[in-house]
Amino acid sequence: MSDCGVCVYWDDSVSVDFFHKRVRKAVKEHKCCECDKVIAKGERYEYASGKCEGEMWQAKTCLICAEIADAFSCDGRMYGGEFWSQFSELFGELNTSCFDKLTTVAAKTELQRRYIEWQAWYYGTGR
């Protein structure tokens, strides 16, 4: 099959004053801003923060969502809970080579789970 070619593109007109991202170990429970999964105490997660258009922001993302978002955000990534709603609009374009963009079994499994859910919704309800 051909290369994946599936990309989420974001509005690049947003003015970014500063941005920082790192992986942290949770000292208390958090909620993933993308999937709402609980990030348990002791679990590693991605912490991103910055200032855009004069507004301060922060995002805590589980490593599974972070890996998938990094792999499919081709011109930079947006943070804070918009990835899955944007990416789900592209599920019809996924092919098997898209899974090769991911490196962990957990990320491949999560993408497959969401893709199967989308197929059941799309083909089951006729949209």
Q: What residue ranges do the domains of the chain occupy? A: 16-125
User: What digits encode the pLDDT tens for the residues 70-113?
Assistant: 999 988 888 888 899 999 999 999 999 999 999 999 999 999 99
Residue 124, token pair as written in the block? 């089951």
Does the pLDDT value for residue 43 go beyond 90? yes
Query: What is the pLDDT averaged over residues 31-58?
Result: 95
In this structure, is the dihedral angle defined by the CA atoms of residues 115, 117, 120 and 126, taken in order, positive or negative?
A: negative
Six-digit token string for 54: 């004069």
CATH level 3 topology of 16-125: first zn-finger domain of poly(adp-ribose) polymerase-1 (3.30.1740)
> Cα separation of 83 and 88, whole Å?
8
pTM comes to 0.89
Helices (H), 2-104: 63-72, 83-87
8 A C-beta contact, residue 26 and residue 40: yes
